[in-house]
């Protein structure tokens, strides 16, 4: 199969018929493709609409329905599992992604130059204060942390080689960082394409301002896991050791200073009367706890079934 189109949706009953009609008219008979609709626990009549679309396009439409709303990452993960096409394209169901971009995205991946191509909504049709400016700040921070030079990392319109989606795991709220996940899995040829952004035609956005705060926390999580997930001692052990040594050194210095003052008959201040002594004790305790956290994390990591799970691109015997 040439192409799989994975569409995650939540309460998009009005937009689905038009979306599938536009995809059908765009692709025509030029591709052997499938459309995988993942209903993320919709509470409207989206599933009934999907069943009607299945009747209209029996050989094209496939569908997955969740028992409840699990989130976009879960929907994308299940869509990736079901995808059979050599090239996979993800898009949102709200008609803000233009199906007319699909042929060019397909062409960019099939050329062999890219592993992943992300859309860039350069001219957004959103509210400037609540969407555009926060999005620019968020993407700037994401570029700094991940090193992936994309202008719109969270764009739902993306194209992948099949090998990419079968070798990455999307969970939690990590759908925002699929390019970074792919990079950490060894797929370094990541490009972008300017795509048209259309105003929402039906309903309202399912994402509020809280997505930026959640996105920032997810960014820190995925950065930490990619850097230290299999070697936690390198992070906790290093910081713990440094904190412990600082606390130890400060305590020894305070005690030595008191002893030296006593020996010379100079006035001195009791060590226990000095706030710095208690700060050094806190540093000692925190340093020890961090070191032990790293040690326990290392033991868990070394006993994990995933400790030697390495992705092999090719093997020659």
Close Cβ partners of 294 (under 8 Å, ≥ 6 residues apart):
232, 233, 234, 235, 236, 237, 238, 240
Asked if 246 and 145 sit in the same domain, the reply is no
Q: Is residue 314 part of a domain?
A: no
Average pLDDT over residues 211-227: 74
Residues 88-118: pLDDT tens digits? 999 999 999 999 999 999 999 999 999 999 9
Co-location of 266 and 140 in the same domain = no
Q: Say what the pLDDT of residue 306 is.
A: 60
Answer yes or no: is 312 within a domain: no
pLDDT digits (tens, 9 = 90+) for 141-160: 888 888 899 998 889 999 99
CATH of the domain at 37: 3.90.550.10
What are 16's strand-pairing partners? none
Domain range for residue 257? 233-302
Query: Which of 182, 204, 228 is at the close of a domain?
Result: 228
311 domain residue, yes or no: no
pLDDT at 268: 81
Does the pLDDT at position 171 exceed 90?
no
Q: What pLDDT shows up at residue 262? A: 85
Q: Is residue 313 part of a domain?
A: no
Final residue before a domain boundary, out of 196, 211, 228: 228
Tell whether 237 and 178 lie within a shared domain. Answer: no
The answer to whether residues 191 and 258 belong to one domain is no
Mean pLDDT of 162-170: 93
Q: Please give the tally of structural domains in the chain.
A: 2
Which 8-state DSSP code applies to residue 119?
E
Q: Do 20 and 109 lie in a common domain?
A: yes
pLDDT of residue 131: 64
Half-sphere exposure at residue 106, Cβ-oriented, CA atoms within 13 angstroms? 19
What does the pLDDT look like over 27-53, one tens digit per residue? 988 899 999 999 999 999 999 999 999
pLDDT band at 244 (very low <50, low <70, confident <90, very high): very high
75 and 59: one domain? yes
Are residues 280 and 150 part of one domain? no
Cβ neighbour number for residue 220 with a 10 Å cutoff: 10
What is the tally of helices (H) and strands (E) in the chain? 10, 7
List the one residue out of 122, 115, 133 whose CA is nearest residue 155.
Answer: 122
Burial of 310 (0-12, 13-18, 19+ CB in 10 A): exposed
**Please, which pLDDT band fits residue 187 given cuts at 50, 70 and 90?**
very high
Mean pLDDT across 281-285: 94
């Amino acid at each position: 199969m040439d192409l799989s189109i994975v569409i995650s949706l939540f309460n998009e009953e009005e937009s689905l018929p038009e979306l599938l009609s536009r995809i059908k008219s765009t692709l025509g008979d030029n591709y052997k493709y499938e459309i995988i609709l993942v209903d993320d626990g919709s509470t409207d009549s989206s599933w009934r609409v999907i069943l009607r679309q299945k009747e209209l396009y029996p050989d094209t439409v496939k569908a997955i329905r969740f028992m409840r709303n699990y989130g976009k990452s879960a929907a994308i993960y299940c869509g990736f599992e079901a995808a059979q096409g050599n090239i996979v394209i993800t898009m949102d169901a709200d008609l803000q992604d233009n199906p007319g971009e699909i042929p060019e995205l397909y062409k960019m991946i099939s050329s062999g130059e890219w592993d992943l191509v992300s859309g860039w909504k350069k001219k957004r049709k959103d509210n400037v204060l609540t969407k555009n400016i926060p999005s620019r700040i968020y993407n700037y921070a994401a570029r700094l942390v991940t090193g992936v030079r994309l202008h719109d990392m969270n764009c739902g319109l993306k194209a992948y080689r099949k090998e990419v989606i079968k070798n990455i795991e999307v969970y939690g709220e990590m759908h925002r960082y699929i390019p970074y996940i792919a990079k950490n899995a060894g797929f370094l040829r990541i490009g972008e394409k300017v795509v048209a952004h259309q105003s929402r035609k039906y309903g309202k956005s399912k994402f509020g301002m809280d997505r930026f705060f959640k996105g920032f926390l997810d960014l820190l999580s995925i950065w930490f896991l990619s850097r230290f997930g299999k070697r936690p001692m390198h992070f906790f052990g290093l910081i713990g050791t440094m904190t412990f040594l600082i606390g130890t050194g400060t305590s020894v210095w305070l005690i030595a200073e008191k002893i030296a003052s006593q020996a010379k008959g100079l006035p001195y201040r009791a060590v226990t009367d000095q706030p710095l002594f208690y700060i050094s004790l806190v540093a000692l305790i925190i340093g020890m706890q961090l070191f032990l956290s790293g040690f326990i994390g290392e033991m868990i990591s070394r006993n994990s079934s995933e400790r030697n799970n390495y992705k092999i691109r090719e093997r020659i015997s």
